[in-house]
Structure 1
C-alpha cells in the first residue's frame, strides 16, 4: 500500500515510526528536552508557551534530507558534488548553533552581572527569573541544533568516508560523536561552563604525517591498537586537510575519539610548523604516531624522542598500497 502525505511533518513522522528507536533516538530525546513550559528567546521578548519540535520527527527529517541528497545524485554526473552540498547542509546547523551559543554566552554574562548586584525587590527577582529563562531556552535550542548537526555529520561521514569539520572554530557536542576542537579553543578554555567540551580530559596521543598517503588500513589498525591500550585517548593532530592527518581524523570520527586540531598559525611565517610542533609537545602526550612526510614530521619525531614519548614511526615503505602517478592524478581529478 502506498502512503500519501500532505506535508513534510507527516512524512517525517512516518519515517520516524518506521525506523523505530535506537541510540540516536535517545540522543534526540535528551537534546529536545523541555525544561520549562515557557520559553524566552531574546531579552526584549516576553516569555511564552512554546514547545520543542518532536524529537523523532526532527531525527527523521535530518535523516531524510541527507540520505535523499546522496541517493538522488548517486551514479550520476552530479555525484562528485553531493559531498560538497551535504557538507554545506551540516555546516548550516553548525553556524546556527554557534550563533545561538554566542547569544547564550551574552545572556549568561547578563545573568552573572545581575547575580552580583543582589536586590531584594520584586523587580530584581523578576529580572533574575527572566534572565535564567533566557539562558535555559537558548541552551536547549543550542543542544537541539548541535544534535541535528551531529546526526547530519554522521550521515556525511558514512557517505563520504570523511568526518565533517568546520572551516573555522571547534565542533563540540554532548553526544557520542567525536568532537573536533581547535587548538586555540583548547588552550583558551578556562573556567567556562562548557570547559570539558573544549578542554577534554584524557591521555593525549599525538599524530602527524605527510600529505601523500594511500594505505588507510595501516593507519587505522595502528590507531585501533593504541585505543585498545588507551581507551580514553584524545587524539591531537597537525590538522592537515589531506593525507595522514585526514585519515587519522576520519578514524577518530568513526571511533568516537575526540580530536584536538593544531592548525598552522600563518602569522608566524616560516616557523609556524615548528611552533605548532612545540605546542603539540606541550600537551605532554603519552604516545605518538609520526608518519613519514617532510622535515616538519622529522622535527616533531626528534622532539618526541628527546621528551621520552613512546613513538611509532610509520614509513612510506610500510604501505601495502603504494601511490602511483596515475592514482595520484585520479585523486586530484576527483577532488579527494
Structure 2
C-alpha cells in the first residue's frame, strides 16, 4: 500500500528544505483581496496551504509510479506522469496569458491618465487583477516544477515540453526554446527568456547511453564557468536528452535550439550556424551523424575549445534494475 504523507516531515527526502522554501515563496498572498477576471468583484480569498499543495503534488506523481511498478503496466507510468506535469504547465501558460492581457490594459490606462473617480477605481481593480494572476501563475509554476522533479527522479530524464519554453522557479532549471531565446535577444525582453551568461554548446547523436562521462565533463566545465548557459540541438533522446537531464539536476539554464523544418534537409546545418553565431566559449560533441561532424568543424573553425566523445568510448550499457526503489 502506498504511504499517505501527512506533513513535510513525513515525506523525508521527497520534500527538502529548498522545496519548502520555494513553496512558501510561491504561495504568497500579496493582498487580502483577490480578483481573477475583469468581471469579478474583488473578494477576500486565500491561497492554498503550501504544505498541502506540496503533499498533493508528491502523492499524485509518486502514487502513479508505485501502482504500476513491477507490473506489465510499468512502462506506461512515465507517459501518464508526463501528462500530469504537462497539465500543470499548460494551466500555468493560460494564466500567464491572462496576466499579459491585464498588464497590457494596465499600461494603456497609465498612459491615458484620467483624474476621475471611475478611472481610479478601474485602475485599482486592474492592478489587483494583475497581482492576483501573477501570484496564481507563480504557484502553478512551482507545482509544475515540483512534479517535474518527481518525474526526473523516477524516470532519470527531465520533464520537457513538446514545444515552447518552460520558465521555472528555484526547483528546476529553466528550459528556453530557441525561438523564444532569439526573440528575447532581438526585443531585449526579460531575463526569463533571455538568460545571460557564457554559452556552452552541445550536440550529439540520438543513440547514446553513457551519461556518467558526459555528466563528469559538464560538471568540470560548470566548476570553471558557474554562470554558463547550456545550448543544445534540442533532441528529446540520445546525447541531447542526457545533457538536458544534467542541466535539470544542476539548476543550469538550458536553451534548446530546435530544427526549423521549413528549410528541409539544410535545417540541421543551418541550426549549427545559428548556434555558432552565439560565440560559445566551449562545445561538446558526441559522435552521431554528419550533422555532428559539421558542428565540430564549425566550432574548430571559430576557435572554440572542443570536447569530443566517441560512441566506441562509452562504458558498457548496464541492465536496467527491476525496481528503482527498495
Which bracket does the TM-score occupy, shorter chain normalised?
over 0.9
Q: Unaligned regions of 5+ residues in structure 1, if any? A: 1-10, 331-336
> 2:245 — aligned with what?
250
| 1:223 has 2:215 as partner | no
> 2:36 — aligned with what?
41
> 1:237 — aligned with what?
232
Instruction: Give 1:280 deviation, angstroms.
Output: 0.8
| 1:164 has 2:156 as partner | no
SS of structure 2 residue aligned to 1:153: helix
Instruction: Give 1:254 deviation, angstroms.
Output: 1.1
Task: Give aligned pairs, total.
Answer: 312
- Which ranges of 4 or more aligned residues in structure 1 deviate by more than 4 Å? none
Instruction: Give 1:18 deviation, angstroms.
Output: 2.8
- Once the two structures are superposed, residues 202-224 of structure 1 have per-residue CA deviations (whole angstroms, 9 ceiling, x without a partner) of 11100001111222111111111
SS of structure 2 residue aligned to 1:206: strand
| 1:111 has 2:110 as partner | no
In structure 2, how many angstroms separate the alpha carbons of the residues matched to 1:88 and 1:309? 39
| 1:19 has 2:19 as partner | no
Q: Unaligned regions of 5+ residues in structure 2, if any? A: 321-326
Partner of residue 64 from structure 1, selected from 59, 64, 78: 59
In structure 2, how many angstroms separate the alpha carbons of the residues matched to 1:177 and 1:107? 28
In structure 1, how many angstroms separate the alpha carbons of the residues matched to 2:216 and 2:308? 14
SS of structure 1 residue aligned to 2:7: helix
Q: How much is the aligned-residue C-alpha RMSD, in angstroms?
A: 1.7
SS of structure 1 residue aligned to 2:191: helix
In structure 2, how many angstroms separate the alpha carbons of the residues matched to 1:176 and 1:286? 27
In structure 2, how many angstroms separate the alpha carbons of the residues matched to 1:227 and 1:175? 18
- Once the two structures are superposed, residues 304-335 of structure 1 have per-residue CA deviations (whole angstroms, 9 ceiling, x without a partner) of 11111111111122212269xxx9xx9xxxxx
TM-score (norm 2): 0.92
In structure 2, how many angstroms separate the alpha carbons of the residues matched to 1:158 and 1:19? 15
> 1:145 — aligned with what?
140
